[in-house]
Amino acid sequence: MSIFGERLRQERQRLGLSQEEFGEAGGVKKVAQSNYETGKRRPDSEYLERVSALGVDIQFLFSGMRTDNADATFGLSPSQSEEGLAPVPLFDIEAAAGDGRSLEQEQIETTLYFPAEQLEAQGLDPAQVVGVKVRGDSMDGTLADGDWVLVDRSRREPKPEGVFLLLVHGERRIKRVQRVAGGAWLLISDNDHYQPELIKPEDMKDVEILGRCEIRIGRVS
């Protein structure tokens, strides 16, 4: 991937857009947008004018330096940004190829940098935070397909109840966890089209909490 293409992808993700949505705003198809991000092709001036109107920092695309009005906390390396930023690796849980237990074994899709103080103010240890991409519509109403969610890996017990990244029968899922009588868990999808799943105490060996979902990053609809 070219440096320009990587920066273009970072700008698209900063704005919370898919390749298809971003390409449409720039007047091209998804395949062209993909080619721009992988460095197979370079966009023309008309495309750049269109995405600039969308909010893309054109100076950052070409120089790596952001303009004063750009969001300086996303997509920068520590050498390009002020001290005090914490790197948060982002993983696509659908593309995961490992055994599901260790995200560190998976390929990082990208890295976002957040002010460590802001994460700590939310009660999060920056060293324990990772981002995962939401897949599917089972959590619609809370999390949409394509959203990113920051996960606190230090919180692996359903106390208090909430939304968690889980390993269920070897598959990573994001579900709301509710404890029920007898020590069982109820895995709930916020989309009413999906039925809750009861995990009995004797089946707990097949379920593991990988972390609590704390902060959503997604497009405003």
* Helix 19-26 with 30-38: angle, nearest 10 deg: 100
Beta bridge partners of 1: none
Q: Which of the pair, 196 or 64, is modelled with greater confidence?
A: 196
Residue 165: the pLDDT is: 94
What span, in angstroms and rounded, lies between the C-alpha atoms of 8 and 5? 5
Sign of the dihedral through C-alpha 28, 12, 165, 216: negative
Nearest Cα neighbor of 104 from 126, 89, 119 is 89
pLDDT tens digits, one per residue of 71-113: 434 444 444 444 577 888 888 776 544 444 556 566 677 777 7
What span, in angstroms and rounded, lies between the C-alpha atoms of 173 and 158? 15
Are the C-beta atoms of 174 and 165 separated by less than 8 Å?
yes
Give helix then strand counts, H and E, for the chain.
6, 9
Which of 3.40.710.10, 1.20.1250.20, 1.10.260.40, 3.30.1490.100 is the CATH number of 3-63? Answer: 1.10.260.40
Band the pLDDT of 69: cuts 50, 70, 90.
Answer: very low
Residue 175: the pLDDT is: 94
pLDDT tens digits, one per residue of 163-202: 999 988 888 899 999 999 888 999 999 999 999 999 999 9
pLDDT tens digits, one per residue of 108-153: 777 777 788 888 888 999 889 999 988 889 999 899 888 889 999 9
Nearest Cα neighbor of 173 from 77, 199, 2 is 199
Q: What's the DSSP call for residue 211? A: E
Within 10 angstroms of residue 26's Cβ, the number of other Cβ atoms is: 25
Residue 73: the pLDDT is: 41
Residue 81: the pLDDT is: 42
pLDDT tens digits, one per residue of 30-43: 999 999 988 888 88
Q: Torsions phi, psi of 42, nearest 5?
A: -115, 140
Residue 101: the pLDDT is: 54
Place of tokens 């890996």: 153
Helix, coil or strand: residue 195: coil
Q: How far is CA 102 from CA 77, 157, 168, 205, 214, in A?
A: 24, 17, 14, 17, 19
Domain boundaries, the chain: 3-63, 85-217
Residue 71: the pLDDT is: 42
What span, in angstroms and rounded, lies between the C-alpha atoms of 31 and 36? 9
Lookup: tokens for 131? 């981002």
Place of tokens 């091209």: 28
Give the pTM: 0.61
Task: Return the CATH fold of 85-217.
Answer: Umud Fragment, subunit A (2.10.109)
Nearest Cα neighbor of 94 from 129, 131, 130, 135 is 135
Place of tokens 């916020």: 190
